[in-house]
């Protein structure tokens, strides 16, 4: 990834990077990187794969205050140079892990986390979302809708505030959308193509950093063989939302970890905020999902983890 960044952001050739005697300084945190690599080398941390295809994954961890990439693993199994990087190159639907970006738009429009949202059968121009448990609760607070990841309330909410407001919010968070994404499915992360763990971690870093999103980057400085600086990171930040909205979102996402769908992300003695995401299989008749996501953070670190098969089919899916 560092080679890619040197080539794409600093306009060096691959040859210069590999053989030019350069000194490249990065934001890597070896403690976090080593811990992440240890996890990826231990199959016990992953669901059991089918013999002919390994369940793949990608993870990235950033410092939300700087945007510096602390650690990154792009896949499982034997590493070969130039292989596909699931942490940075993956394009998959983020599912419910995208919901907080849409809820942010509602908070900006004056909704509050204690407000009651509709949770009953709805049909908007033929679109009828279902909750994961196929139950309806009539009305739920926004807090409960976020922590329990209900599907109907955010769709009702997006329809209420206007799809374009939701689209603009998601794009402000650095998630590129297509024309096909300008619909109510956006509330559930059902994008036409999708996004990567790196972009999701960068987006959530705004919540950890009081609404300011720092551009994710690995390289801090590049010196040539003589010690001359030939490339240097220039801080790039975007105020995605205001601090109060970011703090409300964090409060709800802490609830998701404490009492909601992300309970398994609890770390004793630490306040973790985060959101799970699962996506639908492209076929029917079996109970499972295509992708599993978790994007979470503390004030000092934000991370995104994706899990799924490279090729999802009736033989290969997540249970």
Question: What's residue 57's pLDDT?
Answer: 98
Mean pLDDT by 10 residues, the chain (319 residues): 96 95 98 98 96 97 98 94 94 98 98 98 96 96 98 98 98 96 97 97 98 98 96 96 98 98 95 97 93 97 98 95
Q: Do the beta carbons of residue 176 and residue 191 sit within 8 Å?
A: no
pLDDT in tens, 10-26: 999 999 999 999 999 99
Q: In whole angstroms, what is the distance from residue 78 CA to residue 88 CA?
A: 18
Per cent of the chain over pLDDT 70 is 100
Rounded distance, CA 199 to CA 174, Å?
7
- Tell me the three state secondary structure of residue 235: coil
Burial (CB count within 10 angstroms: exposed 0-12, middle 13-18, buried 19+), residue 49? middle
Could you identify the residue written with the tokens 């599993």? 292
> Pairing relation of β-strands 69-73 and 219-223?
unpaired
Cβ atoms within 10 Å, residue 318: 17
* Measured distance CA(305)–CA(203) in Å, rounded: 14
Q: Is the dihedral of CA 201, 250, 257, 287 positive or negative?
A: negative
- Residue 138 contacts residue 122 (beta carbons within 8 Å): no
pLDDT at 81: 85
What is the sign, positive or negative, of the torsion defined by CA atoms of 205, 211, 216, 219?
Answer: negative
Digit-coded pLDDT (tens) for 147-162? 999 999 999 999 999 9
Residue 221 CA: distances (Å) to CA of 2, 112, 133, 216: 11, 43, 50, 14
DSSP strand pairing (237-239 vs 229-232): unpaired
Token output for 172 = 């402000």
Task: Tell me the whole-structure pTM to 2 decimals.
Answer: 0.97
For 174-228, what is each residue's pLDDT tens digit? 999 999 999 999 999 999 999 999 999 999 999 999 999 999 999 999 999 999 9
């Amino acid at each position: 990834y560092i080679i890619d960044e040197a080539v794409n952001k600093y306009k060096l050739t691959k040859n210069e990077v590999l053989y030019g005697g350069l000194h490249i300084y990065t934001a890597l945190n070896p403690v976090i990187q080593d811990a992440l690599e240890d996890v990826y080398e231990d199959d016990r941390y992953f669901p059991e794969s089918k013999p002919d295809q390994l369940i793949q994954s990608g993870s990235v961890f950033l410092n939300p205050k700087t945007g510096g990439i602390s650690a990154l693993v792009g896949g499982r199994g034997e590493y070969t140079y130039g292989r596909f990087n699931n942490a940075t190159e993956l394009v998959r639907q983020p599912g419910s892990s995208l919901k907080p970006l849409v809820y942010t738009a509602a908070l900006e429009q004056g909704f509050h986390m204690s407000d009651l949202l509709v949770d009953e059968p709805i049909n908007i121009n033929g679109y009828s979302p279902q909750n994961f448990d196929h139950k309806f609760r009539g009305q739920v607070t926004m807090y409960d809708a976020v922590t329990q990841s209900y599907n109907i309330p955010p769709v009702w909410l997006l329809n209420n505030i206007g799809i374009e407001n939701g689209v603009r919010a998601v794009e402000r968070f650095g998630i590129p959308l297509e024309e096909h994404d300008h619909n109510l499915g956006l509330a559930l992360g059902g994008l036409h193509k999708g996004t990567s763990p790196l972009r999701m971690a960068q987006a959530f870093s705004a919540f950890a950093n009081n609404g300011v999103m720092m551009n994710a980057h690995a390289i801090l400085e590049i010196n040539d063989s003589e010690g001359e600086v030939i490339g240097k990171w220039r801080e790039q930040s975007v105020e995605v939302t205001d601090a109060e909205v970011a703090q409300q979102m964090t409060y709800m996402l802490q609830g998701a970890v404490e009492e909601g769908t992300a309970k398994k992300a609890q770390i004793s003695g630490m306040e973790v905020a985060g959101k799970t995401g699962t996506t639908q299989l492209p076929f029917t008749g079996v109970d499972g999902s295509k992708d599993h996501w978790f994007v979470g953070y503390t004030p000092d670190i934000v991370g995104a983890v994706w899990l799924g098969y490279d090729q999802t089919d009736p033989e290969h899916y997540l249970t």
